[in-house]
Amino acid sequence: MEGALTAITKASPWADLIELRVDYLKDPNLALLVNDRPKPFIVTNRRKEEGGRYHGDEKMRWGILKKAIELDVDYIDVEMRSKRSSIEALMAYRRANHKKTRFILSFHEFQWTPSQKELRNVCDRMSRWEADMAKVVTFARSWEDNLNVLSLISYARERGQKIVAFCMGEKGKMSRIFAPFLGAAWTYASLSHDRASAPGQMTVQKMRDLWERLR
């Protein structure tokens, strides 16, 4: 908890939005972390199968996300491969309690990048599930994989769907840089190299330096 609070303080001058990875924390006190937050927050409790560190009971994992809604966090990130009934129950809880927390429905593929047709099908399903934000992240094995994923941004926006889309891995770095220029809602960066939460993630300082050069 102490380390998380320190990281939030360090991230605030750099970030427009801070992702709180609850699955990295031991005995998290969510209220202490999000109350009086300096920037908008995304609360994520990623299970091991989706690249996270959460190993516990699924009911408890969903309970933390429910608590985040109670605390009116700005966003929660829910994996698309989760049980649809669990996702719908959480959305129903938000509506019943008149909370403003927005849902990011996320799809991660850590080994490769599916075809453009498959990726568009993922986006279409996210829209049908009434996600406030779609997040599609795949692993780039080739430079062309970046193009498949970045093309989703205009595809989603034409359908009124807000989206975050980029590739992981060394060859995916370019998509992390260019996604916001193409209309993605945001991209992700780490405070330092040793705090990266996914392969190919750059530091926020590096990302900002690159953007300044492009401008």
Domains of the chain: 1-100 (3.20.20.70), 104-185+193-215 (3.20.20.70)
Let me know if 147 is exposed, middle or buried by CB neighbors in 10 A (0-12, 13-18, 19+): middle
Please state which of the ranges 22-26, 35-39, 54-58, 204-208 shows the lowest mean pLDDT.
54-58
With a cut of 90, say whether residue 115 has pLDDT above it.
yes
Based on the residue annotation, tell me whether 135 is a catalytic residue of this protein.
yes
**pLDDT value, residue 194:** 76
The C-alpha atoms of residue 187 and residue 148 are separated, in whole angstroms, by 17
- Considering 67, 108, 162, 173, which one is annotated as catalytic? 108
Count Cβ atoms below 10 Å from residue 117 Cβ, excluding itself. 8
pTM as predicted: 0.92
What would the mean pLDDT of 36-45 be, rounded to a whole number?
A: 91
pLDDT at 58 (0 to 100): 81
CB 2 within 8 A of CB 37: no
Beta strands in 45-182 (DSSP E): 75-79, 102-109, 133-139, 163-168
Q: Kindly name the residue from 67, 135, 162, 173 that is annotated as catalytic.
A: 135
| 210 contact partners, CB below 8 Å, separation of at least 6 | 177, 202
Q: Which among 62, 19, 37, 60 has a CA at the least distance from the CA of 197?
A: 19
For residues 45 and 80, is the Cβ–Cβ distance under 8 A? no
pLDDT of residue 125 exceeding 90, the answer is yes
